[in-house]
Chain A
Amino acid sequence: MRLQPEEWAALALSLKVSVVATLLSLPLALAIAWLLARRDFWGKSLISALVHLPLVLPPVVTGYLLLLTFGRNGAVGGFLEQFGVVLAFRWTGAALAAAIMGFPLMVRAIRLAIEAVDPRLEQAASTLGAGRAAGFILVTLPLIAPGILAGAVLGFAKAMGEFGATITFVANIPGQTQTLPSAIYAFLQVPGGEGSALRLVALSLAVALGAVLISEWLSRRIAQRIGRG
């Protein structure tokens, strides 16, 4: 199976967008998940609802809202442009859209993992001289590592498959914002494009399968390391 340059570009862009979206949103997802799992504060249900909103909102609505906020004339977009950061119709915008769409899945997986860890273990750590940060890093973090990995894989998978919000926010510019799903869609719109579309479909399948297999293997490794295997 030989890929056309355009198809290569779509695959490379999709991988770049998904990796960046996953890695950049992971720390924030961890922080939010921890807040939702371990803290009670005013407005907690509002935060939770906001985080989960992209899950239930039509992706095209999310994309349009992103365009309104992060577009060049949007409040945040205009502000960022002063620093030379442009998101609309760029691959960075695709990463933002992918991150937001994957965020609820990440938060959910990590939050469940944190809730499964006995908070009294951190109490025990504190009586042994570990401050709050040390207790979290040395006790809770290793115990929730499988959950973080699961969240990252879900977020990555969602990013690879994201279509509606991406195409609305950053359009479908080959070589710039055309991700795998956008490329498949584009090829299906032109006569004779089925061959390319099918190749990209096969590629999507391979990437998805690979990601799942790698994550299974990693989570087994982690489970063994933390004594749950």
Chain B
Amino acid sequence: MSLSVNITHRLGDFLLDVAFDASPGVTALLGPSGSGKTSVANSISGLLRPFYGHVHLRERALLDTAKDIFVPPHKRRVGYVFQDGRLFPHLTVEGNLRFGMRFAKEAGNPAEVIDLLGLGTLLHRRPGTLSGGEKQRVAMARALMSDPQILVMDEPLAALDEPRKEEILPYLEGLRDQSDIPILYVSHSVAEVARLADDLVILQGGKVVCHGSAEEVLSDPAAIPFVGVREAGSILRAKVLEHGPDGLSRLAISGGELVLPGVTADEGSNIRIRVLSQDILLSSRRPEGLSSRNILAVTVEALRIGDGPGAAVSLRAGEDRLLARITAQAAREMGLEPGTRCFAILKATAVPKGSIGR
């Protein structure tokens, strides 16, 4: 366990009461604004001192109110990437990176970090002349230079527009795959979290409402109320088999094959795909004469019928899980219940480019 958090804090009328453990890899803290995400991030970095509880990082107590332990922020070795970057305006990009190294226990390899985040051409620029996306990349590099034991990112993409987000997400994926530093990624965006997270903690009103691997939580019908109907969807792990001349790529998943456009990863590489639950159709029999090429044989694992007209169905396809959202009426007429075998249909163009990640 690299990070263990159990804190209680009161901010006005708002009660924060959060406990979770985070393993190495990327743990996402997902929740709407006002759910207490930033307070949790600040408690870990020491910018907020909770009333009760403890924070342990790699067996080291950063906070333990029972033992009256409070390690100040500058001694925590928690790298923090703020939503607004907070680069030092009087220093160049290089100066900002040097600042990160100045107090580091062990100097990292600047060349490696500069390369990983693509900062080579920016080193002599001032923060004032950088674009929002460039600023965030510098902020990430600066935090990495301080030789942190964990990287806390508080909505690092929230201030950016969609094209800038797309530009920076590959760097985040690279950071996740190439550094062994655990990352706590705070976000309100399900799309970002689905692309980046290994584990997922969903926060609502200051409490943890879901916690598990990102695949499990996002394919759990019970998580839909917290994720939002439109954003609900599961993650599939796929391997790129071949890119066709028509722009379509064949992908292997544990339960069969998919054909999707817009896949840029190399043949043979592994990718993750986010499939929205509203983009899946269900059929009792194998459909014929259908335009879609993506038909998977699946088994119903769980069914959740809410108060409204909709029903969420969790489906198993090989080792992956899919989440489909259909009408409650259809679920009844098809006789869906756990164990029912049926077919899931996914339109090839239903997966936008942004939902495909490494």
Binding site for B on A (CB under 8 A): 118, 120-121, 123-132, 134-135, 138-139, 142-143, 225-228
Interface of A is mostly: helix
Contact with A along B158-176 (1 / 0, CB 8 A): 0000000000000000000
For this complex, into which size category does the number of interface residues on chain B fall? 20 to 34
Which residues of chain B from 60 to 97 have a CB within 8 Å of any chain A CB? Answer: 72-80, 82, 84, 86, 88-92
Interface of B is mostly: loop
Q: Across the interface, name the chain B residue whose C-beta is closest to A129.
A: B103
CA distance A226 to B88 in the complex (A): 10
Binding site for A on B (CB under 8 A): 45-47, 72-80, 82, 84, 86, 88-92, 99-100, 102-104, 126-128, 142-143, 146
Contact of A123 among B73, B76, B126 (CB under 8 A): B73
Instruction: List chain B residues, Cβ under 8 A from A226.
Output: 89-90
CA distance A126 to B74 in the complex (A): 5
Least CB distance, A224 to chain B, in whole angstroms: 11
Between-chain CB contacts (< 8 Å), 28 pairs? A120-B84, A121-B89, A123-B47, A124-B80, A124-B82, A126-B72, A126-B73, A127-B46, A127-B73, A127-B80, A128-B99, A128-B143, A129-B74, A129-B103, A131-B74, A134-B103, A138-B99, A139-B88, A142-B90, A143-B90, A225-B90, A227-B89, A227-B90, A227-B91, A227-B126, A227-B127, A227-B128, A228-B90
Instruction: List chain A residues, Cβ under 8 A from B86.
Output: 118, 120-121, 123-124
Least CB distance, A135 to chain B, in whole angstroms: 8
Q: A120-B86, A143-B89, A227-B89 are in contact. Are A127 and B126 (CB under 8 A)?
A: no
A-B contact count (CB 8 A): 78
CA distance A37 to B171 in the complex (A): 39
A120 touches B77 (CB 8 A): no
Q: A142-B90, A143-B89, A226-B90 are in contact. Are A128 and B82 (CB under 8 A)?
A: no
B47 touches A127 (CB 8 A): yes
B104 touches A129 (CB 8 A): yes
Q: A143-B89, A143-B90 are in contact. Are A128 and B100 (CB under 8 A)?
A: yes
| 13 new A-B contacts at CB < 8 Å, known A128-B79, A138-B102 | A120-B82, A121-B89, A125-B88, A128-B103, A128-B146, A129-B77, A129-B103, A226-B90, A227-B89, A227-B91, A227-B126, A227-B128, A228-B90
Instruction: List chain A residues, Cβ under 8 A from B84.
Output: 120
Q: Across the interface, name the chain A residue whose C-beta is closest to B105.
A: A129
B74 touches A127 (CB 8 A): yes
CA distance A131 to B72 in the complex (A): 9
Least CB distance, A61 to chain B, in whole angstroms: 42
Least CB distance, B80 to chain A, in whole angstroms: 4
Instruction: List chain B residues, Cβ under 8 A from A131.
Output: 72, 74
CA distance A155 to B74 in the complex (A): 36
Most B-side CB within 10 Å, residue of A131, A143, A227: A227
Instruction: List chain A residues, Cβ under 8 A from B146.
Output: 127-129
Q: Across the interface, name the chain B residue whose C-beta is closest to A118.
A: B86
A127 touches B90 (CB 8 A): no
CA distance A120 to B82 in the complex (A): 10
Q: Across the interface, name the chain A residue whose C-beta is closest to B100.
A: A128
Least CB distance, A48 to chain B, in whole angstroms: 28
Instruction: List chain B residues, Cβ under 8 A from A123.
Output: 47, 73, 86
Least CB distance, B200 to chain A, in whole angstroms: 24
CA distance A44 to B219 in the complex (A): 57
B72 touches A130 (CB 8 A): no
Instruction: List chain B residues, Cβ under 8 A from A228.
Output: 89-90
Contact of B88 among A121, A126, A129, A134 (CB under 8 A): A121
Instruction: List chain A residues, Cβ under 8 A from B89.
Output: 121, 143, 226-228
A127 touches B78 (CB 8 A): yes
Least CB distance, A219 to chain B, in whole angstroms: 14
Instruction: List chain A residues, Cβ under 8 A from B100.
Output: 128
Least CB distance, A21 to chain B, in whole angstroms: 29
Instruction: List chain A residues, Cβ under 8 A from B128.
Output: 227
CA distance A179 to B100 in the complex (A): 50
B72 touches A128 (CB 8 A): no
CA distance A125 to B75 in the complex (A): 12
CA distance A128 to B45 in the complex (A): 10
Q: Across the interface, name the chain A residue whose C-beta is closest to B139.
A: A124
Q: Across the interface, name the chain A residue whose C-beta is closest to B77.
A: A129
CA distance A131 to B78 in the complex (A): 14
